[in-house]
Amino acid sequence: MKLKSSYIAVIFAVLLSAAMSPAQEKPIQKSDLPSAVQKAMKQRIVGSTVRGYSFEVEDGQQKYEIETIRNGHTRDITFAPDGRILEIEEQVELASLPSKVRDALNARAGSGKITTVESISKEGKLLAYEAKVNKSGRKYEIQVGPDGQRLTHEE
């Protein structure tokens, strides 16, 4: 009986560890996408080149991401299994952003160099801009809201 409870404790620890670990994207093939995602994807990627597909479970929700590129700009679209779009991350030019957003990103980057900027939209609503910054060889990301304001949490 004592041996059985030891096995149960080990299994519980492994399951708890897996549940607590952050979501990780797993590369998949197009054929692994649910048919609803494949159908929705066709409508959204016209004129784009697909760079890859991935799957993850985040906070108990299954998500499928399609990475695309069009006219030299990246766009990653995340779908729910039923084909609904959950999130779009789309590369934008820093110069094309409203001055409040540009100024806020430059202020947050300080002496670092902004290398790319993406807009982040969820359920059709623009929530943030995210910039990749390189400062003395150290790379990191910063975010601001759609009006350049500081965010209370990362998107």
- Asked if residue 141 belongs to a domain, the reply is yes
- The reported pLDDT for the residue numbered 7 is 47
pLDDT for position 89: 97
What's residue 96's pLDDT? 97
Is 47 strand, coil or helix?
coil
How confident is the model at residue 15, as a pLDDT? 46
Judge if 99 and 72 occupy the same domain: no
Residue 122: domain span: 93-155
Structure tokens at 44: 């959204």
pLDDT of residue 131: 98
Residue 13 in domain: no
Give the number of domains in the chain. Answer: 2
Q: Regarding beta strands 125-135 and 138-144, do their DSSP bridges make them parallel or antiparallel, or are they unpaired? A: antiparallel
Confidence (pLDDT) at 24 = 87
pLDDT of 123 = 87
Residue 45 lies in a domain: yes
Can you tell me the distance from the alpha carbon of 18 to that of 84, in angstroms, rounded to the nearest whole number? Answer: 27
User: 100 and 70 share a domain?
Assistant: no
Do the Cβ atoms of 141 and 131 come closer than 8 Å?
yes
Same domain? For 30 and 69 the reply is yes
Q: Are residues 102 and 148 in the same domain?
A: yes
Q: Is position 11 within any domain?
A: no
Residue with tokens 């697909």: 50
Q: What is the CATH number of the domain that holds 70?
A: 3.10.450
Note whether 107 and 64 are same-domain residues: no
The rounded distance, in Å, linking the Cα atoms of 155 and 144 is 9
pLDDT given at position 35: 97
From 32, 63, 82, the end of a domain falls on: 82
**Low-confidence spans in the chain with pLDDT less than 50:** 3, 7, 9-21
